[in-house]
Structure formats: C-alpha cells, structure tokens
C-alpha cells in the first residue's frame, strides 16, 4: 500500500496497556505496518504515527489511557505533524466518544480491525478522522500470514482465540472483545513452527478461556488435542497457556499435564472468590467445592504443579463472611502466586447495576489483607524449593547484578544465578539456594 511520501520511512511507536493479548496484538500491528513500509520508532518524539493499544478491564486501566492522552496532547501542541491512533479495548468501548472528548485523536480502532489499520492511517494522513469499531462475529482478526518475533526473543505469545462468551457479571471483556472465536489450528501450528524456526523456545498460548478452544473450529478440536499437536513440534521446548476457566477445565487437559513433556507444570486458574454466594452473583459457573476438586485432580496428576490465580475483592454485596471464605480458601489451597484486584464498575456489565456496593476503604482493606496473606504463602512455597534442582530456561540478564542471568522454571518462577551471557536462550539445571517472595536464586550445576 502507499504511504505518505517522506524522505525517510515513516516511523510508528506503539504503547501497549493491558494484558498479554494486547501485547500480542501490538506486535502483530507492528509487523503489519513494517510490511507496509513503516519503521519502529523508539520514542514518541521520533514517531510519525503514535498508537495506543488500550485496556479497559478496571477503571484504573482506563484512567491510565486518559492521562497518557493528556501527555500526548502537550506533544501535539509542540509538534503537530504526527498521527495519533487509539485502539484496543477502551477504543472499542468508547468509539466516537473518544474523538469528541479528545479532538486531537486522528484514529479510533477497535479490537477487530487490526488488518484495516493501514487503510485507516492512510485516511488520517489525508486529513480525515477515522473511527472503526465494527466487530464482525465469526472471523479471525489476525492477518493470516505469519509474523516474526524480535531477534532476541526466547519466548513468544500467540493468541489462539479471541473474544469471550462467559459474561462474568463484573467483566467488560465480552463487550469489548466480542464473541468467542477460535483460530484455525493449521494457522496456529504454522505460526508456532515459524516462531520456533526463528529461534523461539517457549510459547504461551493466549485466550480468555483456552479451555473452550475449538468450539468454532470445524471439524471441532479440543484444547487438549491442540496441545498434543503442538507438543511434537521439533525445537519447541516449552508450552504454556493462559487463561483457564475452572468451569471448563477438562480431565483430558489434566492428563496433558501428566503426559506432555513440553507442557510446563504451571496453571493459572482464576478463583475470583471463595464464597459460593458471590461466585454465583459473579456468574462464574462453579462452586468453591468444584474448584477445590479440580485443584485436587491437578495435584494428583502432577504433585508439584505450580498454581496461580486471580482474586477479585469487594464485589457488590461481598460481606465480611464472604471475604473470610475467600481468605480461608486461599490459605487451604496454597497458591504459588496471586494477582489481586479490587472491584470497579465497568460499563455495560450486570454487576455495575448492583446497588450493594462495597465502600472503597473496605475494598482496599480487604485487598491489603489478602496481599499480606499471599506474601507469606508465596515465600513459604518458594522456601520449599531450597536445596532442590530446577530446570531453568534463561531469558536475559538479571537485575540482580553483573555476571548474573535470569530465567524461569517450568513452574514459572523467576530464578537468578551467576552465569555467562552465552547461556541465555538455553536451558540448564540450577540448585536453588535462596528464596524470596517473587524470585529464587541458586547455582548452575
């Protein structure tokens, strides 16, 4: 396609907010624009096109986008010759409102128009504002040609599906990402093979609920079956995935953990709440007893499997007793790590209509109690690894000082140790000597 005629190639700077799926989308956007003649800019100042890929999952995430827009406005006042595009989940949610509220935005692109972005940019260069938030239901949002990772990358994300049909009552994702759609397994296999050929050792398969992968694929294929196909790719060392919805975690998937040598022994299984009453109001589709049973099955299959989760405190109507049930369940399960959030209303969700809102101070108090509890559990869990050996895939230099490299165990724990930079990109065995809340350190053996 044609691009604005400038002496040098136009440069694009993409700032990404939100989850791994947005990181993956940003990389796809970058690769697509590179194929249209763009170069990557290293700062706002040198960019011809600035794109924000945004997140709307919590109010704070959305507010971050608005403060970034404030910063960019100042830059526009000083240097008006760049195009500003806002995409992703806030763009999908707000559509035309964004240009009304921030008239210096040139393009608003929703979550389903990655492939149309070059045309929207062209339009903006011609002086037309471009807003595209259409969401065709049953199509792949990604261009079908493959993309290359960064040259120094060891690990890569790959979206295997998009959208979500679960409608948890607090969650904006089904509204901003549309209906659940599973990508074609052949496209996925091709993409992973290309990534491995380019030097990638570890892939993380992404979806809002990977356990329901395959429902829109014909002939239908389960997530467990997809994993088995990926496990035989030569040169691929590690497979991870996120996120798993507890209600759809199948016995076949649990078997994969026990049987597939490349599948890492780590599962992120968001619990959200330990109270059955709140789980029901959240529309999560499982009880605390059913959740505990899944954990039991996972640990039966792989006794040292690492388990992490998301907890949402202060859902409307959550009482002290409900919260105590969450605390008790966290204690009894003993997670390796937790992501903890306090509830905020999201536009269009059922829970935003619930009137029994928990006061802010109470939500924050509960959040800090849960964080304190998890700090102790994470440290205890990590201390149990002292003296043990772990296989670590090294991914880069460590922040812990010169001569140190860092990587992750199959259980997704960060390990720092002394080692030559040549080890980066390779897997080695480390004897764990020290444990902290969020990392381990040890010696190469």
Q: Which residues bind ligand F3S (CB under 6 A)?
A: 18-19, 21-22, 55-57, 88-89, 172-173, 176-177
User: What is the separation of C-alpha 342 from the centre of its chain, rounded to a whole number of angstroms?
Assistant: 18
Binding mask 193-222 toward ligand SF4 (x if CB under 6 A, else -) reads ---------------xx-------------
Helix (H, G, I), strand (E, B) or coil at 33: helix
Q: How far is the CB of 346 from ligand F3S (least distance, A)?
A: 9
Q: How far is the CB of 22 from ligand F3S (least distance, A)?
A: 4
Indicate which single residue of 26, 53, 56, 208 sits in contact with ligand SAH (rule: CB under 6 A). Answer: 208
Strands 49-54 and 11-16 turn out to be parallel
Does 111 engage in binding with ligand SF4 (CB under 6 A)?
no
The partner residues of 85 in beta bridges, in order of sequence, read 51, 107
User: What whole-number distance in Å separates Cα of residue 370 and Cα of residue 105?
Assistant: 40
> Between the CA atoms of 408, 411, 413 and 418, what dihedral angle is there, to the nearest 10 degrees?
-40
Indicate which single residue of 19, 99, 121, 173 sits in contact with ligand SF4 (rule: CB under 6 A). Answer: 173
Indicate which single residue of 171, 195, 230, 305 sits in contact with ligand SF4 (rule: CB under 6 A). Answer: 171
Total Cβ atoms within 10 A of residue 133: 19
Task: Kindly tell me which of 159 and 441 has the beta carbon lying closer to ligand SAH.
Answer: 159
Residues 164-183 that bind ligand SAH (CB under 6 A): 170-171, 173
Output Rg (C-alpha) for the chain, integer angstroms.
23
From ligand SAH, ligand SF4, ligand F3S, none, which one binds at residue 167 (CB under 5 to 8 Å depending on kind)? ligand SF4
Q: Are 206 and 242 in contact (CB under 8 A)?
A: yes
Q: How far is the CB of 432 from ligand SF4 (least distance, A)?
A: 33
Indicate which single residue of 162, 201, 346, 413 sits in contact with ligand SAH (rule: CB under 6 A). Answer: 346
User: What whole-number distance in Å separates Cα of residue 86 and Cα of residue 132?
Assistant: 11
From ligand SAH, ligand SF4, ligand F3S, none, which one binds at residue 310 (CB under 5 to 8 Å depending on kind)? ligand SAH
User: What whole-number distance in Å separates Cα of residue 99 and Cα of residue 86?
Assistant: 10
Locate 71 and state its tokens.
Answer: 């910063």
Indicate which single residue of 124, 164, 295, 415 sits in contact with ligand SF4 (rule: CB under 6 A). Answer: 164
Task: Kindly tell me which of 19 and 367 has the beta carbon lying closer to ligand F3S.
Answer: 19
Task: Kindly tell me which of 245 and 294 has the beta carbon lying closer to ligand SF4.
Answer: 245
Residues 237-266 that bind ligand SF4 (CB under 6 A): 245
CB within 8 Å of 48: residues ≥ 6 apart: 4, 6, 10, 11, 12, 38, 41, 81, 82, 83
Q: Are 61 and 22 in contact (CB under 8 A)?
A: no
From ligand SF4, ligand SAH, ligand F3S, none, which one binds at residue 18 (CB under 5 to 8 Å depending on kind)? ligand F3S
User: What whole-number distance in Å separates Cα of residue 261 and Cα of residue 205?
Assistant: 16
From ligand F3S, ligand SF4, ligand SAH, none, which one binds at residue 21 (CB under 5 to 8 Å depending on kind)? ligand F3S
**Residue 336 vs residues 285, 347, 439: alpha-carbon distances, Å:** 24, 32, 11
From ligand SF4, ligand F3S, ligand SAH, none, which one binds at residue 176 (CB under 5 to 8 Å depending on kind)? ligand F3S
Q: Which stretch binds ligand SF4 (CB under 6 A): 36-44, 160-168, 257-265, 331-339?
A: 160-168
State the DSSP string of 65-118.
Answer: HHHHHHHHHHHHHH---SEEEEEHHHHHHHTHHHHHH-TT--EEE-TT-GGGHH
Residue numbers of the site for ligand SAH (CB under 6 A)?
Answer: 57-58, 170-171, 173, 208-209, 243, 245, 270, 272, 310, 312, 341, 343-344, 346
Residue numbers of the site for ligand SF4 (CB under 6 A)?
Answer: 164, 166-168, 171, 173-174, 208-209, 245
């Amino acid at each position: 396609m044609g691009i604005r005629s400038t002496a040098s190639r136009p440069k694009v700077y993409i700032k990404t907010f939100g989850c791994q799926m947005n990181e993956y989308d940003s990389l796809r956007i970058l690769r697509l624009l590179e194929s249209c003649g763009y170069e990557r800019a290293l700062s706002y100042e040198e960019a011809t096109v600035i794109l924000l890929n945004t997140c709307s999952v919590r109010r704070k995430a959305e507010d971050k986008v608005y403060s970034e827009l404030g910063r960019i406005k100042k830059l526009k006042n000083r240097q008006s010759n760049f195009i500003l595009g806002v995409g992703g989940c806030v763009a999908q949610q707000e559509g035309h409102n964004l240009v009304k509220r921030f008239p210096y935005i040139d393009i608003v692109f929703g979550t389903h128009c990655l492939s149309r972005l070059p045309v929207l940019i062209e339009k903006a260069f011609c002086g037309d504002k471009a807003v595209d938030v259409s969401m065709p239901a049953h199509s792949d949002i990604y261009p079908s040609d493959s993309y290359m990772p960064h040259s120094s990358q060891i690990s890569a994300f790959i979206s295997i599906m998009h959208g979500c049909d679960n409608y948890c009552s607090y969650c904006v994702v089904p509204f901003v990402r549309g209906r659940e759609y599973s990508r074609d397994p052949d496209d996925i296999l091709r993409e992973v093979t290309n990534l491995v050929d380019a030097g990638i050792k570890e892939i993380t398969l992404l979806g809002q609920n990977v356990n329901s992968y395959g429902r829109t694929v014909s002939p239908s294929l389960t997530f467990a079956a997809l994993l088995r196909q990926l496990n035989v790719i030569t040169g691929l060392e590690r497979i991870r995935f996120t996120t798993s919805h507890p209600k759809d975690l199948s016995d076949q998937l649990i078997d994969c953990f026990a049987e597939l040598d490349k599948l890492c022994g780590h599962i992120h299984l968001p619990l959200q709440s330990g109270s059955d009453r709140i789980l029901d109001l959240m529309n999560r589709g499982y009880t605390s007893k059913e959740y505990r049973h899944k954990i039991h099955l996972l640990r039966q299959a792989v006794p040292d499997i690492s388990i992490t989760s998301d907890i949402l405190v202060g859902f409307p109507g959550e009482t002290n007793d409900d919260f105590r049930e969450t605390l008790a369940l966290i204690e009894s399960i003993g997670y390796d790590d937790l992501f903890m959030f306090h509830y905020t209303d999201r536009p269009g969700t059922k829970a935003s209509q619930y009137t029994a809102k928990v006061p802010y101070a109470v939500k924050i108090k509960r959040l800090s109690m849960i964080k304190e509890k998890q700090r102790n559990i994470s440290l205890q869990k990590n201390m149990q690894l002292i003296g043990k050996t772990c296989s670590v895939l090294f991914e880069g230099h460590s922040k812990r000082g010169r001569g140190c490299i860092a990587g992750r165990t199959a259980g997704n724990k960060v390990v720092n140790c002394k080692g030559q930079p040549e080890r980066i990109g390779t897997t080695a065995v480390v004897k764990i000597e020290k444990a902290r809340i969020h990392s381990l350190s040890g010696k190469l053996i």
